[in-house]
Structure 1
Amino acid sequence: MQGLHLTADLRGCATEQALMVDPAALRALCLAAVAKAGLTAVGELFHRFAPAAGETQTGITGVLLLAESHLAVHTWPELGGVTLDVYVCNFGQDNSVCAEALMQQLISAFAPQQLSRQALQRG
């Protein structure tokens, strides 16, 4: 049951970038980043929320199931915020370096003005 669980709260992200509001753009980023990090996507769901009354922008929740565990991304374009969640199991091999690489790619893509990161060793 050992693994590494990384989370990041991003603030001050550019709200006009497609990654904040376009599920296809966010999906493409996530799939490419997972592959580049050496992890394996086995399932996915990307959902754009309907706008609330008076709102023009809506956020996205995207999840990739990984053979190693999961990636979850939540965008709040109206706030310029993004939360990231990467968890990898280390059963059979240590995937920690891959998790760190995935997280760094995603943070770089959103280019936040403020960043808060957390890491938790599981198991």
Structure 2
Amino acid sequence: MSEIETIGFHYVVEAAGCDPEILGNADRIREIFLEAAKVGNMEVKSSYFFKFSPTGVSGVVIVAESHISVHTWPEKGYAALDVYTCGTKAEPEKAVDYILEKFRAKYAHVSEIKRGIEEDDDTFTHMIMTWEESLRKNGNGKG
């Protein structure tokens, strides 16, 4: 079976059991995302993060390949992550793994969307693959 050609990869991640202190800290999330872009071989162009009152952060890192974004709910230990890249240079799955590790997520539901699959009639479609991961046992990464 041949590999499907795609313009981009879009990862939509539901991260649970995350460290609430990290999820409430816009500066720390910015640091994590900027490093995640490096880990994922992406070229950072800009970033913006906003801390809500009383809690929560929304933010985005614009990369040459597209973006990394987040919305957090520290009181629930939950983060909604979005990593989208175009081209062949970036490694978005490495960025996702890095963010989940730094957020100390215990669980992740991940959807990988292959976007920009060209059809014969000059239209485009996408394909979705979804999986779940238990990331840390007993809350510390050890069995």
Same fold (TM over 0.5): yes
Report the counterpart of residue 103 of structure 1 in structure 2.
96
Q: 1:36 aligns with which of 32, 39, 50?
A: 39
What one-letter code is carried by the residue in structure 1 that aligns with 2:30? R
Q: 1:120 aligns with which of 113, 121, 127?
A: 113
Give % identity. Answer: 31
Say yes or no: does 1:62 pair with 2:59.
yes
Report the counterpart of residue 10 of structure 1 in structure 2.
15
| Two-structure CA RMSD over aligned residues (Å) | 1.4
What are structure 1's unaligned runs of at least 5 residues? 52-57
User: Superposition pairs for residues 19-98 of structure 1, below 5 Å?
Assistant: 19-51=22-54, 58-90=55-87, 94-95=88-89, 98=91
Instruction: Please state which structure has a larger fraction of its residues in strand.
Output: 2
Matched positions, count: 111
Q: Shift of residue 36 of structure 1?
A: 2.4
Residues 23-75 of structure 1: CA deviation (Å, up to 9, x unaligned): 11111111112112211110111000122xxxxxx000010011000000111
Measure, in 2, the Cα distance between the counterparts of 1:67 and 1:12. Answer: 31
Q: Please identify runs of 4+ aligned residues in structure 1 that moved more than 4 A.
A: none
Report the counterpart of residue 55 of structure 1 in structure 2.
none
Work out which of the two has the higher radius of gyration on C-alpha atoms and give 1 or 2. Answer: 2
Q: Shift of residue 114 of structure 1?
A: 2.1
Q: Secondary structure at the match of 1:43?
A: strand
What one-letter code is carried by the residue in structure 2 that aligns with 1:77? P
